[in-house]
Amino acid sequence: MFRTALRNVLAHKGRLLMTTLAVMLGTAFVAGTLIFSDTLGDGLRTQNSKSYTDIAVTVSDREAGSRGYDHGGRATTGPALTEETRTKVAALPGAAEVRGVVSGFAGIADKKGALIGNGFSTTGANYVPGADGTDPRYPLASGRGPKNATEIALDTRTAEKGGYRVGDTVRVAVNGPVMELKLTGTLHTNDPRVTAGGSLAAFDTATAQQLYLSPGRFAELDVKARPGTDDTALLAAVKQAVPQGDTIESRTGRELAAEQDRMIKQSTRALSTFLMGFAGIALFVGIFIIANTFTMLVAQRTKELALLRAVGATRRQITRSVLIEALLVGLTASVAGLLAGVGIAVGLRAFLNGPMEANLPDGPLIIAPGTVTAAIAVGVLVTVLAAWLPARRASRIAPVAAMSSVEQPATQKSLVLRNTFGLLFALAGATGLAAGVAGKEVKLVGLGAGALLIGVFVLTPLLSRPLIALFAPLLRALYGTAGKLAKENAIRNPRRTAATASALTIGVTLITSLTVIGASVNKAVEDAAANDLKADYAVTMENYSMLAPEAAAQIAKAPGVAATSVVRSVPVETGADGSDREWLTAVDATIDKLVTVKVKEGSADALKQGKLMVNAGTSGQSRYRLGETLAVTYPDGSKGSLTVGAVIEPNSVLAGVVAPDAVVGPHALPGSGLDKVLVKGANGPTGELKQALRDATGGNPLIAVKGEKDIKAENRRMLNGLLNMMYGLLGMSVVIAVLGVVNTMAMSVFERRREIGMLRAIGLDRLGIRRMVRLESLLIALFGGLVGVGLGILVAWAGVRTLADDLKGISTVVPPLQVACFLLAAAVIGLLAALWPAHKAAKLDILGAIKSE
């Protein structure tokens, strides 16, 4: 039977081409994902290992590092690592060199004043020259390292983006006015924060300590071992020399490198899992095409299969023959997909390093044996499983009935059984969906949506007739006989129409649901910005760190400012034993001039009376009731009590428990920063006021001044970026669905060549034939699009309802223009997919087609 199967594959290679392409594309997605993830992980691990090449032991103050980032680059208390500590460690017998490290953030402005790099990775560090005048962490690309408070060095990418050369004046800020420093050199770095799109500013050690900690203090000590010194022995000696505590920790470089490797593996595994989800969607879409192709092939070869049965082939042999064909197709497509996957991985890295400026590490492509095995196994398994039902049907062909050359349609009983199962699934899914929405159970919503989708897909043969019939009057009016024939052809085989349309339905469903959820979230956020915020501008940090406390006074003095309020987060310990922690949102008592505060219970003057306001959601969750008094311990160790004076409606600005800053602010740790400063202008949101606020903060590129329009634009940009990425990842499944439509129409033309010949013989011209095939394809694509849009909106509605408690005022928003575009795209796909089959149908020889069997 193997030779028979091989001959069949070779004989029908044209009809199997689209199926092969569908499997190849799905497999290529899988292989490309695995190769890209492995290559990225290997590059990051190699880059990471270079960072610890010369480090035997690291002594770090975890508290100093976290404070450096959480409070605007300033530690609230001095770390325990001093110059004295560094000297003490350097005197140990196994220590060759000890480097004191200081780090924080530093924003670099280009020559127009805009921030270079992304705000989250604006790194500042000290440059520690060795005996040769260089720092091995940051090899020099040009010039030299900084030596005093007037000098700075930049990484090569930042210098290039800012248009800076050695000798230029660089504008840099930490958490205050912009400093103008002389660029003395450019550096290379393996710091992943920088290579991922951030920036690096290097200062001399004394300047870095002044900016980030305090004179003579370090956040970390990196110890280089003498030749022949064991790292573990050196670690033990360091622990003896430097007392370990809650914040001070000593570890070997190998341990740190291994920990970073584990984190890299987790990150790349998460990325791979995310991408593999979309690869799975593409393969799932391919299953419909494979099953449809083999079903049609079996129907077209009934006489051949019956003859094999007549000469002694058993049912098992017939099944095995069809499955071997599927195996050969799957194997061929998988190998081709593996090769295409290599191209996808190369192209993806080039794209991310090029237009996207992701700066991923260079290195060889990693094609692991597991990747090869997985890609080929997945492709073969999917193809064989999809062909199993058609193979079973082939084995059940009765020889006598099959040799009559009459196609046996699906019995009414089988369709009734299918429809019954479909209805049961759909009802169970709708029930689960409704229950999940009512109880806001995300898992139940997901299960219900999944069951509903399965039910609808099973019911697509039943749905195809009435939905396609909706277009019949229009097609008959516009295109006459060709339109009528197209409609009849589309509904005469509901199973085939359903299988072809379902592949497109999956993609349209996912795209529609993402679009509706995105539009709903965007509308809710924009409404919150418009309704909750009275302030004209919010002054924040680009990297979402803390504003310096003195910024509030500077902003309040800016010309054109009518009112301001700080917003800061202050942690307090609550409860009798102080075991619970609550984050208070501290604001000025005049916050009602800048934020819309709707009091549900209590007094609107609660803040002015020194009392708390509690968000309605928090009131229910944390059991804080009106009039309740909380015993608190402030960050500075002092104790006090706060009384709930009002419960307010949910508010996007005043989250959680709101306290008067005049009461809790003085108890915050020295140097702790502000989340933001809200500003109301005397003349509203004017360009002059915005510039005045920038000037008041010293033109710091890290400080953002955002109005309502800016907040809305930023939100739209983030959502659109996310949606575009998802659309791109779903693109492969749409391409495979297009191949399915092309495949079905092409095979349908071959199957109906006698019928087409008869139509030509009785007067339907070539234009009519082409039009009939194109309109049939259009109807199938529109059917898939309509079902997909309906399902997508339903799933999105359920998803939005589960977000109601987390996002104030969210409701389902269906963007009509985008939904119409999806249906138009489905129609275009149907027309384009029919071009080649329609051309082939019109070119059929009339007499040859009539004589065909």
Average pLDDT of 585-594?
Answer: 93
pLDDT at 436: 85
Query: Is residue 816 predicted with pLDDT exceeding 70?
Result: yes
Using alpha carbons, select from 724, 720, 738, 727 the residue that is nearest to residue 784. Answer: 738
Task: Read off the pLDDT band of 532 (50, 70, 90).
Answer: confident
d(CA 468, CA 491): 7
d(CA 45, CA 257): 8
The bridge status of strand 639-648 relative to strand 599-602 is: antiparallel
Is pLDDT larger for residue 850 or for residue 548? 548
Identify the three-state secondary structure at position 159: helix
Identify the three-state secondary structure at position 343: helix
Please name the amino acid found at residue 659: A
Token pair 């987790």 in the structure block, residue: 266
- Number of C-alpha atoms within 13 angstroms, CB side, residue 185? 20
Cα separations in angstroms, 584 against 136, 629, 693, 715, 807: 44, 14, 27, 26, 20
Query: Is residue 564 predicted with pLDDT exceeding 60?
Result: yes
pLDDT at 68: 40
pLDDT at 15: 63
Query: Is residue 401 predicted with pLDDT exceeding 70?
Result: no
pLDDT at 308: 78
In this structure, are residues 643 and 632 in contact, taking their beta carbons and an 8 Å threshold? no
Average pLDDT of 824-851?
Answer: 87
> Highest mean pLDDT: which of 288-302, 364-378, 650-664, 702-716?
364-378
Task: Read off the pLDDT band of 288 (50, 70, 90).
Answer: confident
Please name the amino acid found at residue 761: A
Instruction: Report which DSSP code applies to 114.
Output: P
Cα separations in angstroms, 149 against 75, 258, 443, 697: 20, 36, 57, 21
In this structure, are residues 306 and 402 in contact, taking their beta carbons and an 8 Å threshold? yes
d(CA 362, CA 352): 12
In this structure, are residues 552 and 677 in contact, taking their beta carbons and an 8 Å threshold? yes
pLDDT at 679: 96
d(CA 169, CA 162): 11
Query: Is residue 535 predicted with pLDDT exceeding 60?
Result: yes
Average pLDDT of 752-781?
Answer: 90
pLDDT at 618: 60
Query: Is residue 66 predicted with pLDDT exceeding 80?
Result: no
Backbone angles phi and psi of 658, in degrees to 5: -100, 130
Using alpha carbons, select from 301, 832, 778 the residue that is nearest to residue 497. Answer: 778
pLDDT at 813: 94
Task: Read off the pLDDT band of 734 (50, 70, 90).
Answer: confident
Give the Cα-Cα-Cα angle 461, 465, 468 (nearest 5 degrees): 115
Instruction: Report which DSSP code applies to 539.
Output: E
| Torsion-angle region of 561 (φ positive above 0: left; ψ -120 to 50: alpha; else: beta) | beta
Orientation angle between helical segments 494-532 and 816-833, nearest 10 degrees: 150
Average pLDDT of 684-702?
Answer: 90
pLDDT at 372: 95
Task: Read off the pLDDT band of 683 (50, 70, 90).
Answer: very high
Query: Is residue 260 predicted with pLDDT exceeding 50?
Result: yes
pLDDT at 71: 35
In this structure, are residues 515 and 823 in contact, taking their beta carbons and an 8 Å threshold? no
E-state strands within 670-808: 676-681, 703-706
Average pLDDT of 272-296?
Answer: 87
Alpha helices in 251-314 (DSSP H): 253-300, 302-310
Using alpha carbons, select from 159, 150, 393, 428 the residue that is nearest to residue 295. Answer: 393
d(CA 446, CA 760): 51
Query: Is residue 377 predicted with pLDDT exceeding 70?
Result: yes
Backbone angles phi and psi of 520, in degrees to 5: -70, -45
What is the model's pTM?
A: 0.79
Token reading at 387 = 């062909």
Please name the amino acid found at residue 730: L
Question: Which H or E run contains 570?
Answer: strand 561-574
pLDDT at 548: 85
The bridge status of strand 57-61 relative to strand 676-681 is: unpaired
